[in-house]
């Protein structure tokens, strides 16, 4: 997989969030998009996932041949604080629902995913009764354990305690190795394994 950006910029009203980003994100590498809160990390990720159009410049997606932006959702998984889970679903139901749209990573199934989460006793509990940490773990597991070539994680350890951060690191080590991984962060423990860093401040 390859994502190519040529002179990409995004503005809201008359204010430019970033401009003139020309770079590539290529399978075999992991990338950290860095900057303080409000700097534009999530905005850039929204462009990279096809959810937001750039105000200027071009973005293209390739896997052997070019992929239309309307089809890129089939190739990506995303976990982010602003993505909501269906609160009235149980954990088992949210897993079944999610994997109607994305295939499991080879060798996994719903039972094994619940075991990875360590939430066997909560499998039939509605998501609305989960703590913020349990919800974040669920988002991360759904994204990381989907068989997609691109993995996006925005502030992945939001709402996780020290034990949860260790769990996140193990999840990445096990399930992100062969993916094009792109992480938006300002916390070094979320991205210190990334091979390439992109500072949003360089494009102001």
Q: What is the CATH number of the domain that holds 124?
A: 3.40.50.300
At 133 the pLDDT is 96
Q: How many domains does the chain have?
A: 1
Q: What is the pLDDT of residue 99?
A: 96
Q: Which helix (H) or strand (E) holds 94?
A: helix 91-98
Scored b (16 or more CB within 10 A) or e, 136-152 reads: bbbbbbbbbbbebebbb
Q: Residue 89 has what pLDDT? A: 98
> Under a CB-based contact definition with an 8 Å cutoff, are residues 159 and 148 in contact?
no
Q: CA 76 to CA 50: how far, in whole Å?
A: 10
Q: Say how far residue 73 (Cα) sits from the centre of its chain.
A: 12
The DSSP bridge pattern shows strands 15-26 and 2-12 to be: antiparallel
Q: With a cut of 50, which residues of the chain have pLDDT below it? A: none
DSSP 143: H
- Cβ atoms 176, 168 nearer than 8 A: no
Q: Count the alpha carbons within 13 Å of 14 in the hemisphere toward its beta carbon.
A: 0
pLDDT for 64:
87
C-beta neighbour count of 125 within 10 angstroms: 14
Closest CA to 171 of 149, 196, 138, 195: 138
Residue 109 makes CB contacts below 8 A (sequence gap 6+) with: none
Concatenated DSSP letters of 81-107: TTPPP-TTSBHHHHHHHHTTTSPBPTT
Instruction: For residue 50, give its domain range.
Output: 2-203
Q: Which pLDDT score, from 0 to 100, does residue 141 have?
A: 98
């Amino acid at each position: 997989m390859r994502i190519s950006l040529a002179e990409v910029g995004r503005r809201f009203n008359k204010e430019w969030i970033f401009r003139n980003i020309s770079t590539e994100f290529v399978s075999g590498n992991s990338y950290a998009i860095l900057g303080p809160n409000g700097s534009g990390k999530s905005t850039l990720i929204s462009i990279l996932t096809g959810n937001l159009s750039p105000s200027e410049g071009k973005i293209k997606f390739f896997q052997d041949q070019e992929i239309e932006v309307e089809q890129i959702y089939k190739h990506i998984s995303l976990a982010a604080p602003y993505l909501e889970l269906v609160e009235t679903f149980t954990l088992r139901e949210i897993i079944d629902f999610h994997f109607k749209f994305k295939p499991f990573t080879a060798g996994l199934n719903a039972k094994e995913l619940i075991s990875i989460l360590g939430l066997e006793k909560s499998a039939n509990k509605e998501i609305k009764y989960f703590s913020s940490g349990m919800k974040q773990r669920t988002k991360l597991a759904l994204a990381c354990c989907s068989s997609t070539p691109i993995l996006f994680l925005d502030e992945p350890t939001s709402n996780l305690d020290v034990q949860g951060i260790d769990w996140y690191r193990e999840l990445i080590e096990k399930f992100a190795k062969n993916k094009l991984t792109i992480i938006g962060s300002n916390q070094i423990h979320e991205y210190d394994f990334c091979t390439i860093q992109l500072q949003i401040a360089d494009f102001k």
